[in-house]
Amino acid sequence: MFSYILKRLLQMIPLLVGITFLSFVIIQMAPGDYLDQLRMNPQISESTIEKLKQTYGLDQPLIVQYFKWLFNALIFNLGFSFSYNMPVLELIKDRLPNTLFLSITSGILAWMIAIPLGIVAALKPNSFVDRLIQMFSFTFMSLPSFFLAFLLLFFAVKTGLLPTGGATSPNYDSMNFFQKVLDRLWHVSLPAIVLAVTSLAGLVRLVRSAMIEALQSEYVLFARAKGLKERDIILKHALKNALNPFITILGFEIASLLSGAALVEIIVNWPGMGMLMLDAVLSQDLYLVMGGLYIGSIMLIIGNLIADILLAKLDPRIRQREVEGVLK
């Protein structure tokens, strides 16, 4: 198993280099750089700018700059944010937990609703309940996340049943531990509902079709013939097999949650990576953008790795082919 994980990790390295290099090139293509804005500021002398230039190697060729950054990034030295005047790692450390918290909460919420709905819909395909669930998933699949966020914000302002933005209440620091947990959950509820509802719609459809296929298979027929309880057949036999492909999706889900969350974060003022990245891109804060993309792709890679490991653990066919080297 260990060598399998190692192999997977090694395969990810070219991807990481590719992503960072591409983003480096894109950012460099932008007209001017952050130093231009500093130059406009009369309070900053020419020599300070010269010094900044040398420290970050901004006067060297692109490829040298890139490798300089890459080697530092490997030890998580992500450079300095020009606009926030702070190390990039500190900034990201501040924001990343919020984004992860939001993504994971909404992910759990989405799966918790999607799986039961998908199963119910699959039990009697084309029945009234199935059609209702399908219509529901179609509607929410087509609802733009930002529009849903606006609608829920409107609802929140009118009724006070949902929070209206931010990650914590103003008096957060004076709360005890239990209140803090509740406060955080309360504030995450609106963006998490938005993200969960918009992503669960697609999941329901996938669970439904996978379950329909699994329920028609021969092992389900066999389990029925053996006289197993319907409940056991659905949950233990059919569901377990139907969910295999979803573990792969889970890995990619992390990337899409990350980027899907960004827009919603900006709208509901959630202090996560989305807002940070928007600011960074707008002010051409090179190292901050690179740091954000770097951490983002690392999260994606970890997500895929977790999915791979889970898949190898759960599916004997994959375990034998990939890990134990049989059936090649």
Partner 1 sequence: MKELFYYIRKNKFAYVSLYILGIFYFLAIFADFIAPYPYDIQHRDTPYHPPTQIHFFDEKGNFHLRPFVYKYELVDPVFKTYEVNYNVKYPIEFFVKGHKHYLLGIFETDIHLFGVRDGKIFLLGADNLGRDIFSRILYASRISLSIGLIGVALSFTIGALIGGVAGYFGGKVDNVIMRLSEIVMSFPSFYLMLALRAVFPITLSSVEVFLLIVVILSFVGWAGLARIVRGMVLSIREQDYVVAAKSYGASSLRIIVKHILPNTYSYLLIAATLSIPGYILGESALSLLGLGIQEPYASWGNMLASARSITAISSYPWILSPGVAIFLTILAFNILGDALRDAMDPKLKRLIK
Task: State the amino acid at position 311 in one-letter form.
Answer: L
Asked if residue 19 binds partner 1 (CB under 8 A), the reply is yes
User: Which three-class secondary structure state does DSSP give residue 80?
Assistant: strand
Asked if residue 164 binds partner 1 (CB under 8 A), the reply is yes
Query: What residues pair up with 86 in beta bridges, in sequence order?
Result: 81
Q: What are the phi and psi torsion angles at 81 (to 5°)?
A: -85, 125
Burial of residue 168 (CB within 10 Å: 0-12, 13-18, 19+) is: middle
CA atoms within a 13 Å half-sphere pointing along the CA-CB vector of 291: 28
Q: How far is the CB of 254 from partner 1 (least distance, A)?
A: 9
Site string for partner 1, 258-287 (x = CB under 8 A): xxx-xx--xx------x--xx--xx-x---
- Taking the C-alpha atoms of residue 79 and residue 328, their distance in angstroms, rounded to an integer, is 44
With contacts defined by CB under 8 A, name the span among 75-83, 156-164, 222-230, 315-323 that binds partner 1.
156-164
Query: In this structure, what token pair is assigned to residue 3?
Result: 């060598």
Asked if residue 151 binds partner 1 (CB under 8 A), the reply is yes
Query: Site for partner 1 (CB under 8 A): which residue of 68, 150, 180, 314?
Result: 150
CB count, 10 Å around CB of 201?
A: 20
Q: How far is the CB of 165 from partner 1 (least distance, A)?
A: 7
Q: How far is the CB of 158 from partner 1 (least distance, A)?
A: 7
Binding site for partner 1 (CB under 8 A): 14-15, 18-19, 22-23, 26-27, 29-31, 138-139, 141-144, 146-147, 150-151, 153-154, 157-158, 164-165, 255-256, 258-260, 262-263, 266-267, 274, 277-278, 281-282, 284, 289, 292-293, 296-297, 300
